[in-house]
A = this chain, B = another copy of it.
């Protein structure tokens, strides 16, 4: 990791020398916080094997520093930190409108000249795009008093300077300020930050051509940048946004398998069976008044209609790949609040014991993952992985750091890079064993977490949950065995195996960012080339979260680190 950033982060957490319990954080937990704030899904490496209830404060969403919408007075222009290397497509403009559509220097040309009022818009677009007009006429916008919220309200009047409304445009004080502001209270991984964070501060979008990662952009921009992802345009009917499927487009698949967890569980079954019966699901009622026969996504995660979907989160972060000391007093209040969501239909004991079952399942998953990781790490340390990090084409930063090296926990020189630097979970161009590790924790452990969290135990254990981790553990042991047997044979007969060149270069690999940096900026890394502060450097924890952690630390008699300051 870039040294400047690293020091900044550490000092941000620790303030000016807070000691005692917090001082202990220095050695391990500070790095954990550092990690979670910059490198998303690494924490599992460091998750604690000690018994619960030992009182330690571990990292978690609550400890994360950077959250919510930018608070910096002069925020860097989107797309932020690594924008130099971020490649986009013209169609991205619809998903990141303020950056790619609404600025004069990028606004697409338009053949129609003139300024128009609502009636004129409608007259013409009834022919040009009749579906939009038909939907608009059904909307509350068209019936607003004293005057309709018209096409021009959101898109402007000058047809040469039309705007594509962003969520900011909807969140003005005249319109939907409450919802916009509530959404902005979310932390890392929330709707409020998924675009700026995921698109321009993480390797996965930076390192590859835009056609190859269009799907990342599609979902990771949606809720931060546009209200219309969840509120179907141009009717914007809230009763439609209350249905569970509305969350499905993004919250589905591999490492975001929320929809599957819900749909396959009993909650989803109740929903699917009753959803068109107005006696069981009266969609016209506001969320705050909803008395559904079973929960929707929105009913639990946006309880009462609040637009920060993280309010009732667990202690777990990074989609279940991290693990906090779940029984520690500091988390009790947060965990009780989670359990309280179930109280319409379930006893407190039922909810608590389900949370406990989730704890156990995630703990078991962690055990399996650490066994999995160990096999991979030993292979690299013994120098018998094929390919070794040096044999691959440069990573997104232009270096050869092992993809599973996480500075705070696995700071082994054998893993490449400088002390404290971290690799990056990679989907492409890594050894089979690295990819197996990534999948085990990123696909299966997250699934276990999400399944258990949604009361879908079947989902958590079965298909691609704990049975998937079992399988991947077999895979990695098989892989490592073959690598070791080959290495032993080669040593015995005097062969020095030179890894195949296709790991280093190829028709596809040559299109990645790493080789580009090495070729065009010899001796530099992406961190050298992008020294300006990015989104992560200009965001702070929401007041509510800071208040919680400070209050609990005080209650527990610990010294207080300074949270939220920007250095």
Write the residues of chain A forming the contact surface with B, with a CB cutoff of 8 angstroms.
49, 89-91, 93-94, 108, 128-132, 134-135, 138, 209-219, 229, 232, 235, 240, 243, 245-246, 248-250, 252-254, 264-266, 269-270, 272-274, 276, 279, 291, 293-294, 343-347, 349-350, 353-354, 356-357, 359-365, 367-368, 370-371, 374-375, 386-387, 427-432, 435, 451-452, 456-463, 465-467, 470-471, 473-475, 477-482, 484-486, 488-490, 492-495, 497, 499-500, 502-503, 506-509, 511
Q: A90-B356, A458-B218, A474-B428 are in contact. Are A502 and B131 (CB under 8 A)?
A: no
CB atoms of A466 and B432 under 8 A apart: no
CB atoms of B272 and A249 under 8 A apart: no
| Chain B, residue nearest A479 (CB) | B478
Residues of B within 8 A of A254 (CB): 462-463, 467
CB atoms of A502 and B371 under 8 A apart: yes
Between-chain CB contacts (< 8 Å), 11 pairs: A91-B350, A128-B343, A132-B344, A212-B364, A214-B361, A217-B457, A232-B273, A235-B293, A248-B264, A367-B511, A428-B474
CB atoms of B129 and A346 under 8 A apart: yes
| Chain B, residue nearest A87 (CB) | B360
Chain B's nearest CB lies how many Å from the CB of A457?
A: 4
CB atoms of A508 and B252 under 8 A apart: no
Chain B's nearest CB lies how many Å from the CB of A467?
A: 5
CB atoms of A493 and B500 under 8 A apart: no
Residues of B within 8 A of A128 (CB): 343
Residues of B within 8 A of A240 (CB): 273-274
- Out of B343, B460, B471, name the residue touching A427 (CB < 8 Å): B471
Residues of B within 8 A of A482 (CB): 482, 486
A495 CA / B492 CA spacing, docked (Å): 8
A248 CA / B108 CA spacing, docked (Å): 38
CB atoms of B507 and A370 under 8 A apart: yes
- Out of B131, B485, B488, name the residue touching A344 (CB < 8 Å): B131
Chain B's nearest CB lies how many Å from the CB of A195?
A: 14
Chain B's nearest CB lies how many Å from the CB of A421?
A: 23
Q: A214-B461, A350-B94, A493-B489 are in contact. Are A129 and B343 (CB under 8 A)?
A: yes
CB atoms of A249 and B265 under 8 A apart: yes
Q: A489-B490, A495-B488 are in contact. Are A367 and B135 (CB under 8 A)?
A: no
CB atoms of A270 and B507 under 8 A apart: no
CB atoms of A266 and B293 under 8 A apart: no
Chain B's nearest CB lies how many Å from the CB of A99?
A: 16
CB atoms of A89 and B209 under 8 A apart: no
Q: A235-B293, A431-B478 are in contact. Are A458 and B219 (CB under 8 A)?
A: yes
Residues of B within 8 A of A219 (CB): 458
Residues of B within 8 A of A435 (CB): 471, 474
CB atoms of B108 and A349 under 8 A apart: yes
- Out of B214, B353, B451, name the residue touching A90 (CB < 8 Å): B353
Q: A481-B386, A500-B481 are in contact. Are A466 and B357 (CB under 8 A)?
A: no
Residues of B within 8 A of A484 (CB): 500
With a 10 A CB-CB cut-off, give which of A212, A243, A471 has the most chain B CB atoms: A212
A326 CA / B536 CA spacing, docked (Å): 40
With a 10 A CB-CB cut-off, give which of A130, A266, A488, A508 has the most chain B CB atoms: A508
A210 CA / B108 CA spacing, docked (Å): 56
Residues of B within 8 A of A457 (CB): 214-215, 217-218
A456 CA / B222 CA spacing, docked (Å): 13
Q: A248-B264, A374-B506 are in contact. Are A477 and B461 (CB under 8 A)?
A: no
- Out of B249, B270, B365, B508, name the residue touching A371 (CB < 8 Å): B508
CB atoms of B461 and A481 under 8 A apart: no
A490 CA / B492 CA spacing, docked (Å): 9
Q: A368-B508, A461-B214 are in contact. Are A477 and B489 (CB under 8 A)?
A: no
